[in-house]
A = this chain, B = another copy of it.
C-alpha cells in the first residue's frame, strides 16, 4: 500500500540489527488520519468474512485495532500482558516471546469476551517473527472461535513469521511489506 510505504520512507528510520523505527506515526506517536486509511484497507480485504470481533495485543496494536473496530463496527478486544486485579480468574492464557523487547511474557484474554461463535480478525502493527500473532492465534483456538485472518501494518518479509503463518493457512493482509533493509538506512519493499 503506497501511502504507508511512502510514509515509512519519509519518516521511518532504520537502526542496526533489523530494527525499523516508525514511532513518529505508528507505535508511539500515532497519526489518526493514516490509521483510518489503514483500517479501510483491512475492511476492503475482509468485509465479506463476517468479522464480529477485533483482537489485538497491547500496547501498540490497540490504536490500529480501534480503527478496525470502527470499520467493521464490532468490539475490540486486546490481549493483556499481565494478569491485573481487574480481571477475574476465567481467562485464556498464552506465552509470547517479544523480538522487540527481548523477553517472554504471558498474555491473557477473559473467556467471556472471546466466544466460540466469534469470527475474529487479528490486528497488529508489525509482523516479523510472528510471535505475537502466534499467541493471538492460540487464544482464538483455545476459545474455539473462527480465525478470519490478520491485518498487519508493516511486515518484515525477511523474517520468517509471515511465511510460516501463511503456510499454516492464516490469511494475512500486510499493508507495507518490507523485502530488505540495510544498516545504511535503505528500505526495499516487495512489489
Contact = CB atoms under 8 A, between A and B. Distances in A.
Contacts of A85: 15, 17, 19, 100-102
A87 interface: yes
A84 interface: yes
Residue of A29, A78, A110 contacting most chain B CB atoms (<10 Å) = A29
Contacts of A101: 82, 84-85
A14 to B, nearest CB: 11
A23 interface: yes
Given A66-B67, A85-B19, A86-B19, A28 B100 contact: no
A62 interface: yes
Interface size class of A (residues with CB under 8 A): 35 or more
Interface stretch (A30-38, A144-152, A163-171, A183-191): A30-38
Interface in A130-163: none
Given A62-B62, A62-B66, 12 more contacts: A19-B86, A24-B112, A28-B77, A29-B77, A29-B110, A31-B75, A32-B70, A32-B73, A32-B75, A58-B58, A63-B66, A82-B101
Interface of A: 15, 17, 19, 21, 23-25, 27-32, 35-36, 58-59, 62-63, 65-67, 69-70, 73-78, 80-82, 84-88, 100-102, 109-110, 112-113
